A = this chain, B = another copy of it.
Amino acid sequence: MEATLSAGIGTPPTRSVPDTPAQVDLAALTPGTPAFVDAVERVLLDFFATRREIVDPLGPVFVDASEALEQFVLRGGKRSRPGFAWTGWLAAGGDPAGPDARAVLTACAALELVQACALVHDDIIDSSRTRRGFPTVHVDFADRHGAAGWPGDGAEYGRAVAILIGDLALAWADDLVHEAGLAPAALARFAPVWARMRTEVLGGQLLDINGEAGGDESVDAALRINRYKTAAYTIERPLHLGAALAGADEALIAALRTYGTDVGIAFQLRDDQLGVFGDPAVTGKPSGDDLREGKRTVLIAEALRRADPESAALIRTGLGTDLDDAGVDRMRALLVELGAVDEVERRIRELTDTGLRAVATSGATPQAKQLLHDMALAATRRSA
């Protein structure tokens, strides 16, 4: 259920966190590069090390759980949210060679812990069994329950532990912000945006669950989920957070937020399109996977809005079932015929344009403008 920008920006590097306490040159950091990913993971690694002092006295059971969280967080991802936050800070004139850079990068890295909570809890909610090629946290602990030969329900145990590990990630996200070393004034600017971001992503997840349960088929409902679950959380608020840290003025913040909302929704629309039409060889997912999962996307909502009763019934009965290749092809043809695909492509172009225009005409630094331009195209013109 969780969209990821991993595929959107550059090539996912095969890498491991450096063992040495690298003195990364922050001045040269570019979001999306392996060096940026390294720098964020170094912050996270150092933070996890500081938790040991609190965790250890509770004994090995809790140590195991916090190590499971650490492994989960460090297992991968392109660190897109910290990347956008860092870019927001650069856009508003943050100096990566200056004395605040380390604290800012640390606060940006805290977004990865919010994300860990979102993913761990989302995987429970969706009953997902794998994540990034590994068992999900609840499955991992259900397996440990089984391996220990304990009596009782292993699935329930796994779910219980995963709920607590997600909570821990959310609490630790705040701890990392508090311990980042931000100046009090910067922290005071950061906190209200941080508050909005967390409430919005939880709200977005709730709307998503509710949409699936109650079957709200409207385009507006799907767009609202994209806005809060993806755009606000992944691009808009991270940019806003970074800009707030740099003390950006209202006009620049407004421009960055417009970019974040529009490009963020366009990113999700591209994701939805690839989920139905993507090449399995490129996306790494079975063809038409989103159709089998029955995802209620804008693409589907547009199709339903345009369909006559007969076509609508065809879509509704096929969606969320174990379609064979011919069934997927029929559904695809229908989405094209109804004009839903063209409409989604039109929206992607329009949103990318408005987002890019907002930044181009803003007071963002030239470096940030270039970065945001590249990031927008990578997120919306990709094929995987």
* A residues lining the B interface (CB < 8 Å): 51, 54-55, 58-59, 61-62, 65, 117, 121, 124-125, 127, 145, 148, 150-152, 156-157, 159-161, 163-164, 166-168, 170-172, 174-175, 178-179, 184, 187, 191-192, 195-196, 198-200, 202-207, 209-210, 212-215, 224, 228
- Rounded to whole angstroms, the CA-CA distance of A203 and B67 in the bound complex is 13
Are A168 and B202 in contact, CB atoms less than 8 angstroms apart?
yes
Are B121 and A164 in contact, CB atoms less than 8 angstroms apart?
yes
Provide the residues of chain B in CB contact with A168, threshold 8 Å: 199, 202
Provide the residues of chain B in CB contact with A203, threshold 8 Å: 55, 58, 62, 65
| A160 touches which of B196, B200, B209 (Cβ 8 Å) | B209
Q: Chain A: interface secondary structure?
A: helix
- Rounded to whole angstroms, the CA-CA distance of A206 and B166 in the bound complex is 12
A-B contact pairs, 29 of them (CB 8 A): A58-B200, A58-B203, A58-B204, A58-B207, A59-B224, A61-B207, A61-B210, A62-B206, A62-B207, A121-B163, A121-B167, A124-B160, A127-B156, A145-B213, A152-B212, A157-B209, A161-B209, A163-B166, A166-B167, A168-B202, A170-B170, A171-B202, A172-B199, A174-B174, A175-B195, A175-B198, A178-B192, A179-B195, A184-B187
- Rounded to whole angstroms, the CA-CA distance of A209 and B202 in the bound complex is 26
- Rounded to whole angstroms, the CA-CA distance of A31 and B58 in the bound complex is 30
Q: Which residue of B lies closest to A212 (CB)?
A: B152
Provide the residues of chain B in CB contact with A199, threshold 8 Å: 51, 54-55, 168, 171-172, 175
- Rounded to whole angstroms, the CA-CA distance of A151 and B55 in the bound complex is 43
Are B207 and A167 in contact, CB atoms less than 8 angstroms apart?
no
| A171 touches which of B150, B160, B198 (Cβ 8 Å) | B198
Q: Which residue of B lies closest to A58 (CB)?
A: B203
Provide the residues of chain B in CB contact with A159, threshold 8 Å: 125
Are A213 and B167 in contact, CB atoms less than 8 angstroms apart?
no
Are B205 and A164 in contact, CB atoms less than 8 angstroms apart?
yes
Provide the residues of chain B in CB contact with A224, threshold 8 Å: 58-59
Q: Which residue of B lies closest to A153 (CB)?
A: B213
Name which of A150, A160, A175, A187 has the most chain B CB atoms within 10 A of its CB: A160
